[in-house]
């Protein structure tokens, strides 16, 4: 009898342990379910393409940053950390030669290994003039022979990058530069698999079917016309254990009202706010505001292929640049943390290596709102081009915010410059990018968020004949200063810094090549359940560590 009772007790204990184990297993599964819930985000426009060689816009680079990875990637604090590189490089030749080892567990999403040859192939494509890569100049004066190659004076095969074996990459520099590690986190320096790319031909990176990835996610259910797509966890990624989200769904939302409706009905987890909506939601617990390194401006087309436009006249450009009340624009129209900007390089991010003074503070206001002076420049400019009035088309994307901005600027410019008529040309975001790249515009609302925390990332765009210029601006002294900051001045940080200050003065104070408007801010609503949405002041967002709890 006693023995039977003991057996019964043992069986009951085993039953409780089994039940506890099942419950524990269920709890683990529930936790996993919570961590891998689908995340829903918005984008401002369709992705034109995700080819790292030819990408030229923020939407494409935001996607590229999730699905590819270079030798380094930015960590959660925005500092470069090892990625495809297994360790810091071995340095030779006074730091001009770097030997990288590619990690053994680095694979493409189709299972093939990521090799040193993938980097060599991709980098040589970037500098090949036939590629017309917008950011090929990022290698100029930095990677050995990049400058003559970009100028068509040397074969791309002579670029200072070489695969010594499957997992060893040698990089030869013109000069060691302080920003090189930061550069390696950007899309221009990401690898590409030659066999796959060449098999796809012209279709490469124009749809999910023509892509392979080596980053945290794969891009699925996408082509260049779709308004929704998915980032799906890449199970071939070397660090997949730290990728928490199984799927991130993205949809294009161009209207803030629509974004709010989607957010309040639990169909979006993060939305951007502006204007009246900031004031409406600023006291909500899920409201946030921050500043960014995005420099927003109007581009002015001075002409190309030897043909000059009316905007080639300096006085006309100065008049336009001084006729917009930027403070009212950021305070009333945007209200999202943006600040009026009277230069090209933004504030609070880049500092003098010797004095630690802010670049923007040091260079001051180069083109400020001054309607009285603007009118004088306008009258002088009209006289010089022998016209009494002028009609200019202003091209911009079709988001609700961009429409409001262009209407505001149209009113300001026409009010302050008698005889000026501004015709607003609203196009899709993708068409706006195309108009910029092909220089098929008169004035265009654009901007640049920067790739790394150095003034060069903004000033490099406006070098003569740079694929990222698209304005017709050209100045030999400007070119010398910017190229020097990339090369010959690299070992003298303070002289390099002074060269960049002077270059910005030439760009705006002396030549009014742009109409600087504002430094972008971000006001947004984000669910408390969404964790580790990493946003940097400079550089594309990073979804690698993002997760969502119920």
Q: Are 399 and 532 in a shared domain?
A: no
Q: Determine whether 427 is exposed, middle or buried from the number of CB atoms within 10 Å of its CB (0-12, 13-18, 19+).
A: middle
* Token pair 């705006």 in the structure block, residue: 508
Please report the DSSP string for 264-283 in residue order: HTTS-SEEEE-THHHHHHTT
Please report the DSSP string for 29-65 in residue order: HHHHHHHBPPEEEEESS------TTT--SHHHHHHHH
Contact 171, 161 (CB under 8 A): yes
- What pLDDT is stored for residue 15 in this prediction? 46
Residue 169 pairs in a beta bridge with 100, 163
Is 168 contained in some domain?
A: yes
Residue 36 pairs in a beta bridge with 548
Radius of gyration over every alpha carbon of the chain, rounded to an integer in angstroms: 26
Is 171 contained in some domain?
A: yes
Contact 245, 233 (CB under 8 A): yes
DSSP state of 506: I
Is 33 contained in some domain?
A: no
Q: Are 442 and 473 in a shared domain?
A: yes
* Dist CA 505 CA 271 (whole Å): 36
DSSP-derived 3-state class of residue 379 = helix
Q: Determine whether 113 is exposed, middle or buried from the number of CB atoms within 10 Å of its CB (0-12, 13-18, 19+).
A: middle
Ranges of residues in the chain with a pLDDT under 50 are 1-36
Q: Are 351 and 490 in a shared domain?
A: yes
User: For residue 230, what is the domain's CATH number?
Assistant: 3.90.76.10
Residue 331 pairs in a beta bridge with none
Contact 226, 50 (CB under 8 A): no
- What pLDDT is stored for residue 98 in this prediction? 98
How confident is the model over 91-114, as pLDDT tens digits? 999 999 999 999 999 999 999 999
Structure tokens given for 202: 């012209």
Residues near 492 by beta carbon (within 8 Å), at least 6 away in sequence: none
DSSP state of 233: E
Is 351 contained in some domain?
A: yes
Q: Are 99 and 242 in a shared domain?
A: yes
Backbone angles phi, psi at 41, to 5 degrees: -120, 165
* Dist CA 399 CA 376 (whole Å): 34
What range defines the domain where residue 230 resides?
A: 43-249+527-548
Is 399 contained in some domain?
A: yes
Is 482 contained in some domain?
A: yes
Q: Are 496 and 532 in a shared domain?
A: no
Contact 270, 527 (CB under 8 A): yes
* Dist CA 227 CA 230 (whole Å): 11
Is 256 contained in some domain?
A: no
* Dist CA 543 CA 330 (whole Å): 29
Nearest to 256 by CA among 431, 402, 430: 402
Contact 171, 97 (CB under 8 A): yes
- What pLDDT is stored for residue 108 in this prediction? 98
Q: Are 212 and 340 in a shared domain?
A: no
Structure tokens given for 211: 């892509």
CA 100 to chain centre: 26
Q: Name the strand (E) or helix (H) holding 486.
A: helix 476-486
Residue 163 pairs in a beta bridge with 169
Bridge-based pairing of strands 80-82 and 247-252 is unpaired
Q: Report the domain count for the chain.
A: 2
Backbone angles phi, psi at 164, to 5 degrees: -80, -30
Q: Are 160 and 214 in a shared domain?
A: yes
* Dist CA 302 CA 324 (whole Å): 20
Residue 171 pairs in a beta bridge with 98, 161
Q: Are 242 and 302 in a shared domain?
A: no
- What pLDDT is stored for residue 10 in this prediction? 41
Spell out a b/e string for 40-67, using b for 16 or more CB atoms within 10 Å of the CB, else e: bbbbbbbbbbbbbbbbbbbbbbbbbbbb
Q: Are 540 and 493 in a shared domain?
A: no
User: For residue 416, what is the domain's CATH number?
Assistant: 3.10.105.10
Residue 99 pairs in a beta bridge with 90, 170
* Token pair 């990459």 in the structure block, residue: 169
Bridge-based pairing of strands 217-220 and 39-43 is unpaired
Q: Are 80 and 143 in a shared domain?
A: yes
Is 188 contained in some domain?
A: yes
Q: Are 62 and 132 in a shared domain?
A: yes
DSSP state of 217: E
Q: Are 170 and 203 in a shared domain?
A: yes
Please report the DSSP string for 284-342 in residue order: STTEEEEEEEEEEEEEE--EETTEE-GGG-HHHHHHHHTSS-HHHIIIIII-SS-EE-S
Structure tokens given for 139: 């290698």
């Amino acid at each position: 009898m006693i023995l039977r009772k003991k057996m019964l007790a043992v069986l009951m204990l085993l039953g409780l342990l089994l039940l506890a184990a099942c419950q524990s297993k269920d709890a683990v599964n529930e936790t996993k379910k919570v961590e891998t819930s689908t995340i829903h985000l918005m984008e401002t426009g369709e992705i034109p393409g995700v080819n790292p060689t030819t990408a030229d816009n923020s939407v494409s680079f935001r996607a590229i940053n999730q699905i590819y990875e270079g030798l380094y990637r930015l960590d959660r604090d925005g500092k470069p950390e090892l990625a495809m590189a297994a360790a810091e490089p071995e340095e030779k030749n006074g730091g001009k030669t770097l030997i990288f080892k590619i990690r053994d567990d680095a694979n493409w999403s189709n299972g093939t290994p990521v090799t040193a040859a993938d980097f060599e192939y991709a980098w040589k494509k970037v500098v090949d003039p036939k590629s017309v890569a917008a950011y090929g100049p990022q290698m100029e004066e930095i990677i050995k022979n990049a400058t003559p190659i970009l100028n068509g004076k040397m074969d791309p095969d002579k670029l200072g990058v070489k695969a010594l074996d499957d997992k060893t990459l040698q990089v030869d520099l013109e000069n060691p530069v302080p920003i090189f590690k930061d550069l390696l986190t950007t899309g221009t320096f990401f690898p590409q698999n030659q066999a796959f790319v060449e098999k796809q031909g012209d279709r490469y990176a124009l749809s999910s079917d023509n892509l392979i990835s080596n980053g945290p996610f794969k891009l699925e259910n996408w082509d260049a016309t779709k308004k929704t797509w998915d980032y799906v966890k890449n199970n071939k990624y070397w660090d997949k254990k730290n990728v928490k989200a199984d799927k991130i769904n993205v949809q294009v939302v161009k209207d803030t009202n629509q974004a709010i409706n989607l957010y309040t009905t639990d169909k979006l987890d993060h939305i951007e706010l502006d204007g009246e909506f900031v004031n409406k939601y600023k006291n909500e617990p899920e409201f946030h505001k921050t500043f960014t390194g995005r420099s927003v401006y109007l581009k002015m087309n001075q002409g190309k292929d030897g043909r000059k436009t009316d905007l080639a006249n300096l006085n006309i450009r100065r008049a336009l640049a001084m006729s917009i009340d930027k403070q009212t624009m950021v305070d009333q129209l945007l209200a999202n943390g943006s600040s009026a900007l009277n230069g090209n390089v933004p504030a609070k991010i880049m500092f003098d290596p010797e004095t630690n003074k802010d670049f923007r503070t040091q260079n001051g206001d180069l083109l400020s709102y001054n309607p009285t002076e603007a009118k004088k420049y306008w009258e002088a400019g009209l006289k010089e081009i022998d016209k009494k009035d002028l009609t200019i088309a202003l091209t911009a994307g079709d988001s609700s915010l961009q429409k409001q901005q262009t209407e505001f600027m149209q009113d300001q410019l026409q009010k302050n410059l008698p005889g000026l008529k501004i015709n607003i040309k609203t196009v899709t975001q993708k068409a706006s990018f195309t108009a910029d790249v092909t220089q098929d515009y008169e004035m265009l609302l654009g901007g640049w968020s920067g790739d790394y925390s150095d003034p060069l990332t903004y000033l490099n765009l406006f070098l003569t004949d740079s694929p990222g210029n698209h304005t017709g601006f050209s100045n030999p002294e400007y070119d010398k200063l910017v190229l020097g900051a990339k090369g010959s001045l690299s070992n003298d940080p303070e002289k390099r810094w002074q060269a960049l200050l002077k270059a910005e003065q030439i760009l705006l104070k002396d030549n009014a090549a742009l109409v600087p408007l504002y430094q972008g801010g971000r006001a947004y609503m984000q669910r408390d359940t969404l964790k580790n949405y990493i946003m940097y002041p400079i550089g594309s967002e990073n979804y690698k560590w993002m997760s969502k709890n119920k």
